[in-house]
Amino acid sequence: MKIEHLIDFSSITPEEWNILCNLADDIRHKPAKYADACRGKVMATLFYEPSTRTQLSFQTAMQRLGGTVIGFADPQNSSVSKGESLRDTIKIVSGYADIIVMRNPKEGAAYAASLYSRVPFINAGDGGHLHPTQTMADMYTLRSTKGRTDHLKIGMCGDLLNGRTVHSLTRALSARPGNHFYFISTPELSMPEYITDMLEEKQISYSKVSTLDECINELDVLYMTRIQKERFASEEEYRAQSGVYVLTKEKMDAAKSDLVVLHPLPKVDEIDYEVDDDPRAKYFLQAENGMYIRMALILSMCDIPRKSVTQTYPLPKKQVCSNPRCITRFEPYLPEIVDRVGDKQFCAYCEHKI
Ligand code: CP
């Protein structure tokens, strides 16, 4: 299996996913067998945004495989603070490391970075767009807890507009048969159009509801999310949305006995503390699973040899993406790349409709 760059979970085939899950299971049960599997390899973790789980699980994953880690957790401590472009940073780091993991607040930054990387590149979250390795943790946890990732009724609740994890996960689960989605949010924070368009095109059923009570008794999986304070223009706008959805013990009483509650974490006030002790709450397991599945991913990517050069791209004639959070608005040299699906056009970086 050769995954060159991981921008979204959808680039992993079902066969590759099965291999990765089996590898993660084996690593979990026989850690000594893999203790030197990445000896001599260096991973760079470039975090332009805060992270606990993704950053630390990637770092411990590489260390448990015998490799080493370089990088930054705060771009202010790197030459990014002096104005260095994303392109130059990636070109430089891909000469030092064998694999690059990056989180960046700009939507589409992962695809942009992958254009200039000479080594395998992993998206650890690009703004409110995608978070494929969180999806790997989610899907791996569903496989172990529900025994399947198909024919499920899945509720996604909270900030569906800005929550990159629900975008990646909806895509991943939409590729499995028989799943139905309940999108539980306020109108202001509803699922973006590029995700609902995709579901409609694939004729996958979904419902938009405004309260948890309307559907909690139907659900096999409830995926709670935090209201993404850092993506709001003002404190006032954030306050209008926070605290609308809170999963309580009383709400859990109405749910199925085999419901699985997931959350990418961190959580703030959207799940009552007493729900943590409910055996249906699987979010701490989900976070730990993230380490094993990332170990499997690193192992599958770190043997790809460094390319001597990357492709060169012409400078763009104009900026085509109107999304103010798109990386093309901040890194003006990025080539103009448009994806066409039927008669619609999308920005290849952030996937907004053009
Ligand atoms: N789930 C997740 O991405 O958590 P962190 O922001 O702590 O990495």
Question: Could you tell me what percent of the chain has a pLDDT over 70?
Answer: 100
The residue assigned the tokens 């002790």 is: 277
Burial (0-12, 13-18, 19+ Cβ within 10 Å), 246: middle
Mean pLDDT calculated for residue range 98-111: 98
Per-residue pLDDT at 211 exceeds 80: yes
Over 90: is that where the pLDDT of 113 sits? yes
**CA dist 45 to 41, 58, 59, 60, Å?**
13, 8, 8, 11
How confident is the model over 171-182, as a mean pLDDT? 97
Tell me what pLDDT residue 255 has. 98
Question: Among the atoms of ligand 1, which is closest to the Cα of residue 124?
Answer: 3
pTM of the model: 0.95
Ligand 1 center to residue 50 CA distance, Å? 8
pLDDT band per the 50, 70, 90 thresholds, residue 33: very high
Q: In this predicted structure, what is the pLDDT of residue 310?
A: 86
Q: Check pLDDT > 80 for residue 189.
A: yes
Long-range contacts of 141-148 (CB under 8 A, 24+ apart): 141/260, 141/262, 141/282, 141/285, 141/286, 141/289, 142/221, 142/260, 142/262, 143/21, 144/289, 145/260, 145/282, 145/285, 146/220, 146/221, 146/258, 146/260
Inform me whether the pLDDT recorded for 81 exceeds 90: yes
Query: What pairs with residue 104 in β-bridges?
Result: 126
Is the dihedral angle over the CA atoms 48, 50, 52, 53 positive or is it negative? negative
Report the pLDDT value the prediction gives residue 129, as an integer from 0 to 100.
93
Q: Are 178 and 151 in contact (CB under 8 A)?
A: yes
Mutating to test ligand 1, I would choose from 51, 139, 226, 230 the residue with most ligand atoms within 8 A of its C-beta, which is 51
Question: How does pLDDT run across 313-339, given as a tens digit for each residue?
Answer: 999 988 889 999 999 999 999 999 999
Query: What is the Å distance from ligand 1's center to 309 Cα?
Result: 32
**Of 46, 58, 134, best ligand 1 pocket probe by most atoms within 8 Å of the beta carbon:** 134
Mean of the pLDDT values across residues 229-236?
A: 92
- Distance (Å) from CA 119 to ligand 1 centroid: 24
Cβ pair 43, 67 in contact under 8 A: yes
* CA distances, 27 to each of 35, 144, 206, 299 (Å): 9, 15, 36, 10
> What pLDDT is recorded for position 292?
98
Choice among 87-96, 142-151, 337-346 with the minimum mean pLDDT: 337-346
Query: How many whole angstroms from 170 Cα to the centroid of ligand 1?
Result: 18
Atom of ligand 1 nearest to the CA of 290: 1
Residue 57 Cα: closest atom of ligand 1: 8
Closest approach atom of ligand 1 to CA 264 = 1
Cis peptide before 314 (omega within 30 of 0): no
Residues 127-154 have pLDDT tens digits of 999 999 999 999 999 999 999 999 999 9
For residue 1, pLDDT beyond 80: no
- Three-state DSSP at 47 gives strand
> Does 207 score more than 80 pLDDT?
yes
77 φ/ψ angles, rounded to the nearest 5 degrees: -95, 15
Give strand ranges (E) for the chain. 5-6, 42-47, 68-72, 99-104, 121-126, 153-157, 180-184, 206-209, 221-224, 260-262, 338-341, 344-347
Report which protein residue has its CA nearest ligand 1's atom 5: 51
Question: Who lines ligand 1 at CB under 6 A?
Answer: 51-55, 125, 134, 264-266
- Say if strands 344-347 and 338-341 run parallel, antiparallel, or are unpaired: antiparallel
The C-alpha atoms of residue 274 and residue 277 are separated, in whole angstroms, by 6
Mean pLDDT, rounded, of the chain: 96
